[in-house]
Structure 1
Amino acid sequence: MRYAIIAAGEGSRLAAEGIKDPKPLVRVHGERLIDRLIRIFMEHDAEEICVICNGQMTDVQQHLREIIKNGLEGHTIPLRLKVKSTPSSMHSFFELSPMLVGQPFVLTTVDTIFREEEFGEYIHQFQAYLRQGGDGLMGVTDYIDDEKPLYVGTDGEMHVTGFYDDNSQHCTYISGGIYGLAPNAIDTLHRCMDLGESRMRNFQRGLIRDGRQLKAFAFSKVLDIDHATDIKKAEDFIAGKNE
């Protein structure tokens, strides 16, 4: 399985709230965000992990290059690094896309926090859906703690019917920012870029526009680290204190 991590944001809100480390190096439950994802991906048969960080994150670049050279916790990591500043997460995805051509992959952002056991089931269902001819399995949650959630329409069998900026469609779920995608998703990404679109939610709408067959996988919770207070929430969640 191939994995990709967008770690290109500046983490300006965290910095404004007194967090000195760049977001990928923020520790949650004793583990850096970027290291946590790399470890989890390696536990789920990562053949390659592709990461993008911005040009200003010299500490992050150094940390990732150290992992490429010396591994992580005694394990060799098949890590590929792209360093480039981009205006949006979709542009970061586009910069990673040459590394992702031709094989299915799972993409997420560096600050995505989820239960590890649920992620294992997600990977199992993603692989099964690919064998059935599906194009993507989108991680979703009914836990809403996001300033601008992207609502995900689903039918009774969890097929994705649309992506919405508001809940006028009475959706149960919002996007968790975890995307398992077939190789044809790269074609949709290029069409979105040609149209001048940006943001990952526009890419997701592009998948629907292109007729991709998507299903949703419900995580109990997915958290993002946008503010200093989110770190404590994530630590409690990982420790099982806020079931």
Structure 2
Amino acid sequence: MNYAIIAAGEGSRLAQEGVTLPKPLVKLNGVEMIRRLIDIFAKNQADSISIIVNEEMKAVQEYVKQIKLDIPLNIVIKSTPSSMHSFFELREFLRTGKFCLTTVDTIFKEEDFEQYIKAFIADSESDGMMAVTDYIDDEKPLYVDVNEAMQITGFLDNSDSCKYISGGIYGLTPKAIDTLENCLSSGQSRMRNFQRQLVADGLCLKAYPFPKIVDVDHAEDIVKAEAFLRN
């Protein structure tokens, strides 16, 4: 399993609210968010871990460069206009077998993630397995429509009927990279549009429910995330 972490955002909202550390280095219960992800991935059958960091985050660049692992750790330093563009910059590390991609501020319980990865690895029928949750605490949630078999049928900006929203953890196969490249070449620039295109292209995507996933976008979210992980 190849893993990828998008850590190229500016974290401007946190900075405006008085958080002085770059978002990837913000600690949750004493552990940097980026280190927490790396450690979890390394425990879950990782063949490689790839990270993209923007050009302005010198502290994050130095931090990830000093990390030593028993597997390849690929680091891309490039500022990008969106998460989808960051994914595009990491794509060459993800062409050999299944991969799992997430942003650095996606917070989940380690035991939930372990079960998810086991299910994704064991699934021989689908082209991807996306994390979803019915816990909704997001400014702009992306709703996920599913059928009775938990196959994803659509990604919606608004919905009164969908139970789940996207959890921001993308388990995919290299087939999805073709869709990604086509999205970029056609001028699309948002991850949610990429996800919609996956469905439009006919890829079979399964939804895997997590009890709870949170994002760290604001200073108050740090406290919420720490409490969530402690309980």
With structure 2 as the length reference, what TM-score do the two structures score?
0.98
| Aligned mate of 2:227, from 225, 229, 236 | 236
Between Structure 1 and Structure 2, how many residues are aligned? 231
Q: What SS does the corresponding residue of 1:138 show, helix, strand or coil?
A: strand
Structure 1 residue 52 corresponds to structure 2 residue 56:
no
In structure 2, what is the Cα distance between the partners aligned to 1:184 and 1:54?
A: 27
Calculate the TM-score normalised by the size of structure 1.
0.93
* Partner of residue 135, structure 2: 143
Q: Which segments of 5 or more consecutive residues in structure 1 lack a partner in the other structure?
A: none
Mapped to 1, the partners of 2:4 and 2:100 lie a distance apart of: 6
Q: Distance between the aligned counterparts of 1:127 and 1:76, measured in 2?
A: 21
What is the aligned partner in structure 2 of residue 212 from structure 1? 203
Partner of residue 80, structure 1: 74
- Counterpart pick for 2:87 among 86, 93, 100: 93
- C-alpha deviation, 1:102, in angstroms: 2.8
Match of 2:98 among 90, 98, 104: 104
Distance 1:76 1:233 in 2: 33
Aligned mate of 2:216, from 202, 225, 230: 225
Aligned to 2:146: 154
Superposition deviation, residue 101 in structure 1: 1.4
Please tell me whether residue 118 in structure 1 is matched to residue 112 in structure 2.
yes
Alignment partners' CA distance in 1, 2:93 and 2:45: 17
Counterparts of 1:61-76 in structure 2 under 5 Å? 61-67=61-67, 71=68, 76=70
Displacement of 1:236 in angstroms is: 0.4
Structure 1 residue runs of 4 or more that deviate by more than 4 Å after TM superposition: none
The answer to whether 1:202 aligns with 2:193 is yes
CA–CA separation in structure 2 for the residues paired with 1:92 and 1:46: 20
Task: Sort the Cα spacing of 1:121 and 1:110 in 2 relative to 1 into closer, same or farther, 3 A.
Answer: same
**Partner residue of 2:27?**
27
Partners of 2:120 and 2:175 in 1: CA distance = 15
Distance 2:195 2:83 in 1: 12
TM-superposition CA deviations, 1:204-237 (whole Å, max 9, x none): 0010010000010000010000000000000000
Instruction: Give the structure 2 partner of residue 134 of structure 1.
Output: 126
Tell me the CA shift for residue 139 of structure 1.
0.2
CA distance in 2, matches of 1:156, 1:77: 39
SS in 1 for 2:208: strand
Q: Offset at 1:47?
A: 1.1
1:166 aligns to what SS in structure 2? coil
Q: Which residue of 1 aligns with 2:5?
A: 5
Code of the residue aligned with 1:85 in structure 2: it is S
Counterpart-to-counterpart distance in 2, 1:88 and 1:107: 14
Name the CA distance, whole Å, in 2 between partners of 1:57 and 1:45.
Answer: 29
Which secondary structure state, in structure 1, belongs to the residue aligned with residue 89 of structure 2?
helix
CA RMSD of aligned residues (A): 0.9
Cα displacement (A) at 1:14: 0.3
**CA distance in structure 2 between the aligned counterparts of 1:184 and 1:22, rounded to whole angstroms:** 33
